């Protein structure tokens, strides 16, 4: 069946009729929506929407993550042929998933961006589906969290990252990817006592009560211990999962703006995400994929796998049969 489909399927981003199902379009051809899902703004009957946030004007070092959503979509063309390995379920068959396209915004009015992003996510949530976002730099998570907190109240945050993003900054008009978590705590979007950061390996003066599994602890105590600790911290509360690709060591994800050595291997990240199956995930994102600094699409491929696993986690929480 797959071989026969491969002979005729092309540009499924525009031609596919069903919102469910695997895809067998040649990985090297056609329009590159995420996982070959249909591009549409019609959210009728949709379980989960994928949207791109091509914004990188909050970075402290290298720009380029505005190209992240496009690169992640291209890399995801390798993945929709089979059910995801190791999950035991098939979210592409069991959920109606669409690619909602990228957020539109005026790049020359940066101060308008945060409210525009919150409104973008709010509009999708109001229509019913969950949302997984493709960044973009890590600042984008803060306006996204505002929309989720409007719907769910203060969230538990699971943050995979090399950096805590807890730099002190009480000026809410500043747009800085190093202060995303600080603002989220200070404005009550997340509950620090039930939130956890995994993979941290840069200095932080004050974690503001957020729990931390830093990279040395992860390497010393192992993945299973980190999974157990994270699950105990979050419990069954509504949680949002944000994955900064620099949580991975630069050997596995060179294409990012602020790389830090000593990070996770890709196998550790995969095991951690699968070990979180069953948490009450309401949304998530993958951010900081910067194609200008990538090599052989390594970082984009990693980002596409993370996003696919976030879909799996959402599926486990809401639609698993």
Determine if residue 163 is labeled as part of a ligand binding site.
Answer: yes
pLDDT in tens, 108-143: 999 999 999 999 999 999 999 999 999 999 999 999
Determine if residue 165 is labeled as part of a ligand binding site.
Answer: yes
Determine if residue 244 is labeled as part of a ligand binding site.
Answer: yes
How deeply is 319 buried, as exposed, middle or buried, from its count of CB atoms within 10 A (0-12, 13-18, 19+)? middle
The CATH class for the domain spanning 2-318 reads: alpha beta
Determine if residue 191 is labeled as part of a ligand binding site.
Answer: no
Phi (first) and psi of residue 200, to 5 degrees: -60, 135
pLDDT in tens, 196-235: 999 999 999 999 999 999 999 999 999 999 999 999 999 9
Please give the pLDDT value at position 135.
95
**Average pLDDT rounded to a whole number, residues 142-169:** 97
Sketch the domain layout of the chain as residue ranges.
2-318
Closest CA to 247 of 214, 290, 224: 214
Determine if residue 90 is labeled as part of a ligand binding site.
Answer: no
Rounded Cα distance, 78 and 66, in Å: 22
pTM to 2 decimal places: 0.96
Judge contact between 50 and 99, C-beta under 8 A. yes
Determine if residue 203 is labeled as part of a ligand binding site.
Answer: no
């Amino acid at each position: 069946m797959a071989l026969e489909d491969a002979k005729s399927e092309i540009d499924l981003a525009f031609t596919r009729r069903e919102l469910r199902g695997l895809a067998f379009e040649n990985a090297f051809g056609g329009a590159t929506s995420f996982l070959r899902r249909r591009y549409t703004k019609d959210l009728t009957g949709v379980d989960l929407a994928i949207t791109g946030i091509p914004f990188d004007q909050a970075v402290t070092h290298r720009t380029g993550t505005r190209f992240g959503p496009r690169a992640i979509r291209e890399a995801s063309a390798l993945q929709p042929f089979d059910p995801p390995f190791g999950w035991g379920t098939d979210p592409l068959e069991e959920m109606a998933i669409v690619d909602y396209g990228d957020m539109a915004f005026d790049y020359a009015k940066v101060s308008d961006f945060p409210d525009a992003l919150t409104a973008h996510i709010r509009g999708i949530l109001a229509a019913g589906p969950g949302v997984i976002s493709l960044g973009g730099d890590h600042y984008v998570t803060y306006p996204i969290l505002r929309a989720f907190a409007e719907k769910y109240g203060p969230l538990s945050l699971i943050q995979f990252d090399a950096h805590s993003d807890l730099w002190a900054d009480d000026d809410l008009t500043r747009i800085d990817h190093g202060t995303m978590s600080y603002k989220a705590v200070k404005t009550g979007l997340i509950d620090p006592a039930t939130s956890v950061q995994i993979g941290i390996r840069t200095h932080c003066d004050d974690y503001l009560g957020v729990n931390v599994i830093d990279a040395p602890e992860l390497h010393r105590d192992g993945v299973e211990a980190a999974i157990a600790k994270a699950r105990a911290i979050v419990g069954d509360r509504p949680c949002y999962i944000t994955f900064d690709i620099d949580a991975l060591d630069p050997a596995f994800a060179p294409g990012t703006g602020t790389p830090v050595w000593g990070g996770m291997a890709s196998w550790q990240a995969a095991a951690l995400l699968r070990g979180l199956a069953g948490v009450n995930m309401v949304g998530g994102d993958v951010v900081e994929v910067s194609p200008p600094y990538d090599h052989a699409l390594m970082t984009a491929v990693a980002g596409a796998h993370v996003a696919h696993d976030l879909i799996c986690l959402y599926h486990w929480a809401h639609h698993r049969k």
